[in-house]
Amino acid sequence: MAQGGRTMYYIGMDIHKKDTQASVLNEKGKFVHGERIRTDVVDIGHFFEKIERMNDDDLSVVIEATGFYFWIYDVIAGRGHQVKVVHPNRAKALMKARSKTDRNDAFMLAQLLQLGGLEGIYVPSKDVRELRDLTRHRESLVRKKGDLKREIIGSLDQHGIKVPAEFKTNFSNKFNEHVRKLDVFIINEKLDLLVTTIEKLKNVEAVIDVNGNLKLTRFGILILTSLIFLIIPFLNVGRGHSGPPS
């Protein structure tokens, strides 16, 4: 029984990219409903609408930390329900020896949740996730920019082109203008890609400035990115007991 005499339903969800198997138990651990649904926003929403009609009190949900669980977590938490995210390997280690099916996995996840036997992991907020995605994207663009510069220099060497000393600062405006006048198609194509990549990089850094609510230098972004990836693992704090009660 949930606090204040409210009834709690426990829902285990075995998530896959195409379909999700859900299993619903009541407060006594009795199976009350099972369903296979498509893994998309609409079908998951419809499933929870149905369960909410069955039980208008509290729902507690457990899902595994798949590579794409964030949006599913957001859909469920956005409906006001408790959501626990568990590490797949740790959850599997606690599951009883039963035939391996999605239905059994969903049932055992719900059962472990009802028994208080699952350790949850830290789920970063949407803002943190967005900043992580932006910093990853920025790092990707920085790598592409460097690769393109090296390719252009390599193409110049392959064509036996020597850039005059007055244009020797690679990829300055004067350098780019001089190289374009050489009218070598492949080099101009790569210069176009470089200009586009640099522009995209500026756009991303501007968004990071706004979302992070501070002005970040390139060095600052690098430091912030490093800190995010260093800190996140230490925030995977447990929420609950390490195993079912004896």
Mean pLDDT of the chain: 83
pLDDT per position as a tens digit, 152-178: 999 999 999 888 887 767 788 888 888
More confident residue, 98 or 191: 191
* CATH 3.30.420.10 residue window(s) in the chain: 3-121
More confident residue, 233 or 193: 193
Mean pLDDT value across residues 91-108:
80
Mean pLDDT value across residues 55-77:
90
Is the per-residue pLDDT at 244 higher than 80?
no
pLDDT band for position 233 (50/70/90)?
low
Give the residue among 108, 58, 105, 113 at the shortest CA–CA distance from 85.
Answer: 113
The encoded tokens of residue 170 equal: 């690679």
Contact of 99 with 19, CB cutoff 8 Å: no
Give the distance between the most distant pair of CA atoms in the chain. 83
Contact of 190 with 178, CB cutoff 8 Å: no
According to DSSP, the residues that pair with 8 across neighbouring strands are 58
**How much is the CA Rg of the chain, to the nearest whole Å?**
26
Give the residue among 51, 20, 39, 32 at the shortest CA–CA distance from 111.
Answer: 32
Check residue 226 and give its pLDDT. 58
**Percent of residues, the chain, with pLDDT higher than 70:** 80
Q: What are phi and psi of 245, to 5 degrees?
A: -65, 145
Instruction: Name which CATH class applies to 3-121.
Output: alpha beta
Q: Report the half-sphere exposure of 49 (CA within 13 A, side-chain side).
A: 7
Is the per-residue pLDDT at 232 higher than 70?
no
Check residue 243 and give its pLDDT. 36
- Angle formed at CA 225 by CA 235 and CA 230, multiple of 5 degrees: 35
Mean pLDDT value across residues 115-124:
89
